[in-house]
Amino acid sequence: MTTQVTKSVIVNVPVSRAYNQWTQFEDFPQFMGGVQKVTQLSNDRLEWVAQIFGVKRQWEAKVLEQQPDEKVAWAATSGATNAGAVSFEDLGGDQCRVTLFLEYEPEGLVEKAGDALNIVERQAESDLEKFRASLSQRATPAAPGAARSRPRATSGLRAFNTLPTPRATVARRASPAKRSRRA
């Protein structure tokens, strides 16, 4: 069964600063609980190592879409089945809304139990709060173009809630039922 989580946070920085910091992919362990390491393999491929529900997981993800100051979307290509997107909405006055959408498929008894207890939902909320705190603690903003390597932007924006489902997710799906959790 696939689970979806959507969480948002308002940060007191310009949208470009929030976006530039988020695209420092290898810095994710600094504010994402359970994420031990992210390695950028190429412009659009990342390798993740995380502790999920007490189980060490590793996967590769492909950045499917990247619109500067607007959106980053990805999907796992191997390993843990997940996909997601982060959108950035300029609210004016040096504020923006950062919205995280996750879609994942818990595997095994431990992950399914953790899913039933909304652990990923709570972790996503906590991670966004840590992201907000990390932005306010930085003396200097991340410079535009400072990301180690970024894929070029794709043409046109896809609707935020219509992310492509990775083939691996479809193949592993035990049932078509979905649960959705929103902030």
User: Over the stretch 100-151, which tens digit does the pLDDT of each residue have?
Assistant: 999 988 888 888 888 888 888 999 999 999 999 999 886 454 444 444 433 3
pTM for this model (two decimals): 0.76
- For domain 2-152+169-182, the CATH architecture is 2-Layer Sandwich (3.30)
Listed by start position, the domains of the chain span 2-152+169-182
Mean pLDDT of 25-37: 94
Report the largest interatomic distance among the alpha carbons of the chain, rounded to a whole angstrom. 48
**pLDDT value of residue 114:** 84
How many residues belong to the chain? 183
Reading the block at residue 76, the tokens are 């796992």
Predicted local distance difference test score (pLDDT) of residue 106 = 85
pLDDT in tens, 37-89: 999 999 999 999 998 777 888 999 999 999 999 999 999 999 988 999 999 99
Query: How many Cα atoms are found within 13 Å in the side-chain-facing hemisphere of 179?
Result: 14
| Sequence-distant (≥ 6) Cβ neighbours of residue 45 within 8 angstroms | 60, 61, 62, 63, 77
Q: Is the pLDDT of residue 178 over 90?
A: no
Q: Side chain identity at 75, as an amino acid letter?
A: A
Q: Nearest-CA neighbor of 162 among 91, 59, 75?
A: 75
d(CA 84, CA 182): 14
